[in-house]
Amino acid sequence: MPARPNTTPAATGPLTVMTWNVENFFPAGTESGPPDEETYDAKVAYLANMIRGLAPDIVALQEVGGQQPADDLAAAVGAGWKAALSTHPDGRGIRVGVLSPHPVTVEKQLATLPKAGLPQVPDVDGTTLKELGRGALQVHVDVAGGIRLMTAHLKSKLLTYPNGRRFPISEDERARGAGYALLRRTAEAVAVRVQLNKAMTAAAKDGEPGIPTILCGDLNDGPDAVTTTLLGGPDDGSVTRPDKGDPVRLYNLASLLPAGRAYSRIYEGKGELIDHIFVSRDLRLRLASVDSLVDDIGSITASTETRRPATVPDHAPVIARFTAV
């Protein structure tokens, strides 16, 4: 792992951060990717035009199908843009990543459920899970005085059953499948929180000021779900009043989204907010705006095959802008 540069100045500049599930972003002709090169190129162009127009400093990505599409997207956005990816994809090959025009240092490839969290959970096949289904990625980005960012993609609510079966043979099995999925998502959320506890308190132990921290990604549940709220850390009485929980606390920006836009996906006609941005107190106090760019997305169903020709992802990008200090 390369050494991280010491880039913390007396003052920091403005910052724009974006999280986006880019939906099965695979090369053309792959099992989950677009059917042809023309469709793939159109998707790359759409993603790049959106990113370029919004001019974020950091983009957290989910559902990237390998290094090639990540590099194609970085090149399409503009000169100097680079991608860093998780080395722990799921069984389909999707993984999380970070895109930025600024230097990025990978600090942690989170794959194993930590001993300090829930180190193992049962799975639907009768096995024991000891790893995240999709690894999380923690990076340091050399922008605005230095930013720590972790991106994650937690277990979905889509249920599977023994041997990969998608439909239950009984109501008992359906209930068990839902329970196993919740256990897995919970263990993954706890793993992310434990890693953030370690990272966010390290500087305080050394007597150094904390690095502004961002957690973002597709958490596959709403703002009030336990698996989402536990990621924030200790409850807070007021963001304007410092307290002993600040070194590890994160604030979900979900409640600050504009009225009528507080969703990031439309599933069977219903808007859901499952893509989130959490920030540490220093960034929360600098927040200028947050938005979910829902104008282009349409309603989806559980069918994945019908989405292969899509050039617009089924998730909206969520973007937050912060002022300079």
Residue by residue, DSSP assigns 182-212 as: HHHHHHHHHHHHHHHHHHHHHHHHTTPPPPP
In the three-class reduction of DSSP (H, G, I as helix; E, B as strand; rest coil), residue 57 is classed as: coil
- pTM, two decimals, is 0.94
Those residues with Cβ within 8 angstroms of residue 131's Cβ, 6 or more apart along the chain or in another chain: 88, 111, 112, 113
A 10 A CB-CB count for 53 gives: 8
Two tokens, residue 178: 């839902």
Q: Look up tokens 């893509």; give the residue.
A: 275
Q: What percent of the chain stands above pLDDT 90?
A: 83
Q: Are 124 and 160 in contact (CB under 8 A)?
A: yes
Reported as a single tens digit per residue, the pLDDT across 231-264 is 999 999 999 999 999 999 999 999 999 999 999 9
Average confidence score pLDDT of the chain = 93
Least confident of 87-96, 161-170, 245-254: 161-170
Angular region, 108: left φ>0, alpha ψ -120 to 50, beta rest: beta
Specify the DSSP element, H or E, that contains 67. helix 67-77
Tell me the CA distances in angstroms from 58 to 52, 74, 111, 248, 276, one per residue in order.
12, 12, 22, 22, 15
Give the three-class secondary structure for 215: strand
For domain 15-322, give the fold: Deoxyribonuclease I; Chain A (3.60.10)
Q: Residue 41 — very low, low, confident or very high, per pLDDT cuts 50/70/90?
A: very high
pLDDT in the model for residue 161:
87
DSSP structure string for 118-162? ---EE-TTS-EE-EEEEEEEEEEE-STT-EEEEEEEPPPS---BG
Mean per-residue pLDDT, 182-208: 89
SS3 content of the chain, % helix, strand, coil (to 5): 25, 30, 45
- Kindly state the average pLDDT of the residues 62-88: 98
Contact predicate 94/65, CB 8 Å: yes
